């Protein structure tokens, strides 16, 4: 059963949103992936948000570009945490329209917001939310963070080696 719902406003968002799916896969977290437009299929969006909990969804990742109403509208319809991914779309104002549409939510309707095109971080954040009550997932996140630290240490060591060659 899927634990995370990944939704996006259109098929053009899929290359970005796929990064969230890949992170969830790496942590062994089941997810569902769907296209739900706040503007073109508002009834479908309402149904998706209201029925998500019944389907076992614990976190929703919603990506949207332009006016980017999908994350906020979804959050207004469910108590499940929603992570918004602003996407720089073809008609975007350098992505700022999407960022501000998701970030500037009114009091009472929070949406966790990641960086522009930051679906990878949305996947990690969703995993951390689930990991807060699942020790197996939390251990995988700990391992992932350890790998990140080791990669930085290795990069620094490689830099030192190259620096000595240049001297």
Give whole-number Cα distances, 27 to 77, 127, 138, in Å. 28, 7, 9
Annotated binding site for substrate: 10, 13, 40
Q: Which of 11, 15, 9, 16 lies closest to 45 in space, CA to CA?
A: 9
Which residues sit in the known binding site? 10, 13, 40
- CB neighbours (10 Å) of residue 34? 10
Query: At which residue do the structure tokens 């992170």 appear?
Result: 23
Give the whole-angstrom CA distance, residue 98 versus residue 95. 5
Report how far residue 102's alpha carbon sits from residue 109's, in angstroms, rounded to the nearest whole number: 11
């Amino acid at each position: 059963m899927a634990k995370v719902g990944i939704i996006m406003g259109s098929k053009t968002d899929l290359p970005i949103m796929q990064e969230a799916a890949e992170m969830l896969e790496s942590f062994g977290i089941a997810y569902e992936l769907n296209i739900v437009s706040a503007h073109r299929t508002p009834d479908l969006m309402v149904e998706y948000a209201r029925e998500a909990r019944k389907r076992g969804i614990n976190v929703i990742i919603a990506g949207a570009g332009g006016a980017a109403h999908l994350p906020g509208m979804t959050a207004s319809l469910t108590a499940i945490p929603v992570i918004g991914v602003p996407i720089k779309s073809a008609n975007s104002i350098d992505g700022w329209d999407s960022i501000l549409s998701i970030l500037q939510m009114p009091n009472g309707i929070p949406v966790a917001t990641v960086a522009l095109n930051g679906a990878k971080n949305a996947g990690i954040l969703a995993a951390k939310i689930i990991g807060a009550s699942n020790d197996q997932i939390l251990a995988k996140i700990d391992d992932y963070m350890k790998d990140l630290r080791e990669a930085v240490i290795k990069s620094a060591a490689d830099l030192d080696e190259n620096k000595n060659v240049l001297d």
